[in-house]
Amino acid sequence: MLRALPVFMLVLAVGTSGALRPRLAEAVQPKAAGKGPSFTETIYGKMPKGGNITEYTLTNKNGMIVKCIEYGAIITQIHVPDKAGKFADVALGFDKLEGYLAGHPYFGTNAGRCANRIAKGKFKLDDKEYTLATNNEPNHLHGGKEGFDKKVWKGEPFLGATGPGVKFTYKSPDGEEGYPGELSVTLSYTLTDNNEIEVNYRATTDKPTICNLAHHSYFNLAGHNSGDILGHVVQIGAKNYTPGDDTLIPTGKIAPVADTPFDFTKEKTIGKDLEKAGGKPVGFDLNYVLDKETTERPEIAAAVFEPKSGRTLIVLSTEPGLQFYSGNFLDGTNTGKGGAVYKQHNGFCMEPQKFPDSINKPDWKAKSNVVLRPGETYKQTTVYKFGVTK
């Protein structure tokens, strides 16, 4: 399990400077609500072809609440306090299962079997070529037409040493979405009393395959229904990124962020260089090369601060890359919880993972290897740590 670290240590680890340093350095957890950690479960909805979907509600001693469901192992709600102690749900999503079944841009999901993009849906492994769905023309995205985000996982709640959680399991058969090998996946969410959501992935295979899993929650620290996130202050511990082409496939180069709109090595608002970032639609949607290797224990990747609410989010991960996405493709067609209409830039994603299209970039194998073989275990841990500051 991840050992809780003082917030100021995390801030120093990413070299925070300027106005962000004191705000995060002073970030604290809310006072205990007087109740112990707990979990409950209820029926969230029913699948069209039958079978109930269970919703799990996790509560820690501070009153923080996380809700998740068996469909897609989706996190549907995250309730955290602001600087005045007022709780709000900071995760974009839907009130009912029907919203997720109708199609959406991966709200709260888990991308797999291989997260992010694979160029033209093709890759070669051990001299054999595989063809995947091109569900993000002309490329493959987040596991295909029916990736892990659309699968029914088996949930099992638990009360662990660091807090309540849910263990989800799913077995992806050989050939599913074109991927070789049967992949057995375990995903767990743990809500700690340090107001952390710890996301743990484990996977094994019976044939050589590729595996790159990533959590895909959209956050708005002012509240999921609070409009755009352009005023959020962000810092990312990455001096380099992987430039991409017009279809967001990396060119294979690793380039410095210095003197580009993509530089978040020092704190700045998401909106400051948004237009300069370009893209169609405009905004940030790129992989950052974190200033660390793949690690056994999660290390600092990014920090976010929302000035009005005082809420903070620190992202830690074992992974070498971080996809930062500013909700560019949100276009108002998704009506979410409480009737909230999610428009462009109303939420952001921080998705630790291996680099996009790594299987087709041999030079990246040492730093970003997505090949998984029999006898090996894929391991990944990401932590979303929430706090408040005045």
CA–CA distances in Å: residue 222 to residues 3, 82, 311, 377: 28, 8, 7, 38
| Catalytic positions, written as ranges | 216, 351
Conformational region of residue 103, where left means phi above 0, alpha means psi within -120 to 50, and beta covers everything else? left
Whether residue 215 contacts residue 319, with contact meaning beta carbons closer than 8 Å, is answered with no
Q: What is the dihedral of CA 361, 362, 368, 371, to 10 degrees?
A: 100
Whether residue 310 contacts residue 390, with contact meaning beta carbons closer than 8 Å, is answered with yes
Whether residue 131 contacts residue 121, with contact meaning beta carbons closer than 8 Å, is answered with yes
Whether residue 35 contacts residue 61, with contact meaning beta carbons closer than 8 Å, is answered with yes
Strands (DSSP E) contained in 147-306 are: 154-160, 163-172, 183-191, 196-205, 209-210, 214-216, 233-236, 240-241, 255-256, 268-269, 285-289, 299-305
Q: CB 243: neighbour CB atoms within 10 A?
A: 15
Q: Hey, CA dihedral for 267, 270, 271, 273, is it positive or negative? A: positive
